[in-house]
Amino acid sequence: MTIKAVVFDAYGTLYDVQSVAAVTEETFPGYGEIITQVWRIKQLEYSWLRSLMRRYEDFSVLTRESLAYTLRILGLKYDDGVLTRLMEKYLHLDLYPDANAALAALKNRKLAILSNGSTDMLNALVRNSGLDRVLDATISIDSKRIFKPAPDAYVLIEEKLGVQPSDVLFVSSNPWDACGAKSFGLNVAWIERVTPEAMAQACVKSEMIAPLTMFKAIRMQMDELGVAPDYRIHALSELPGVVAAHGS
């Protein structure tokens, strides 16, 4: 049994969603970090809630609505132009520094993205970052009208790449996504970018609870969902080793 395809989550895994913080800080000085954290939490919540409510709208709609929500609860004034300018950053997210090297080292496997992002958002992002030259496919869950971690979303890998789940390594830094993929039947590598010890220390700094770190922590630490990924790595650079070792 060998890995025939390596499939990546996009937001938070290959691309650093925290890189929107610079733009939000520029637009709302002093609020860049808190906007980024609340925006992301609400973007995810809305993807799950709309999936359950059967009111699917594509990820660009949810991303805009969650941003509007965030600015509203912070009491910040905004107009459509502000929303559009901040949204634009989602098409130009930074790749993690080790992404290109990891992808190059895996080029003898099929490589793809499977993301909650809409087809338009993903195509722009992949083109802007040059990954269109490396990936065999960029798969949006759009056609299924339900977001990860619903099984219907992960089915798309076999449908689009023709590789069965047991021959796929799925890579995500999002704990809920890693659990969803594992529950569906894929081999899963979860990227733990910060250790629990470092995170717990950062959450409680000198007797004070650090709010922004806490917001990050509740998205970055492995969840308790009754299922566990196969591999726990700390950076994309560890992936070639995992793929080489798997099943041998």
Which position among 9, 16, 58, 177 bears the catalytic label?
A: 9
Q: Which of 18, 19, 27, 57 touches a second copy by CB under 8 A?
A: 57
Is residue 49 part of the contact set for a second copy (CB under 8 A)? yes
Is residue 190 part of the contact set for a second copy (CB under 8 A)? no
Looking at the Cβ atoms of 6 and 181, the one nearer to a second copy is: 181
Q: What is the identity of the amino acid at 185?
A: G
d(CA 15, CA 93): 6
d(CA 86, CA 40): 13
Q: Which of 12, 117, 180, 229 touches a second copy by CB under 8 A?
A: 180
Is residue 29 part of the contact set for a second copy (CB under 8 A)? no
Q: Which two tokens stand for residue 193?
A: 């970018």
Is residue 223 part of the contact set for a second copy (CB under 8 A)? yes
Looking at the Cβ atoms of 171 and 203, the one nearer to a second copy is: 203
Determine which helix (DSSP H) or strand (DSSP E) holds 6, and give its type and residue range: strand 5-8
Write phi, then psi, for 163 (nearest 5 degrees): -115, 130
Smallest distance from a second copy to CB 167, Å: 22
Is residue 54 part of the contact set for a second copy (CB under 8 A)? yes
Is residue 46 part of the contact set for a second copy (CB under 8 A)? yes
User: Considering only CA atoms, which of 139, 146, 189 is closest in space to residue 162?
Assistant: 139
Is residue 179 part of the contact set for a second copy (CB under 8 A)? yes
d(CA 117, CA 196): 28
Q: Which of 134, 135, 137, 225 touches a second copy by CB under 8 A?
A: 225
Q: Are 199 and 220 in contact (CB under 8 A)?
A: yes
What is the 8-class DSSP label of residue 222? P
Size of interface with a second copy, in residues (CB under 8 A): 56
9 is annotated as an active-site residue: yes
CA dist 89 → 66, 96, 128, 149 (Å): 15, 15, 11, 25
Residue that has been written with the tokens 């995810």 in this structure? 44
- Residues noted as catalytic: 9
Which residues of the chain form contacts with a second copy (CB under 8 A)? 30-31, 34, 38, 41-42, 45-46, 48-55, 57, 65-66, 68-69, 72-75, 146-147, 149-151, 176, 179-180, 183, 196-197, 199-201, 203-204, 207, 209-212, 214-215, 217-218, 221, 223-227
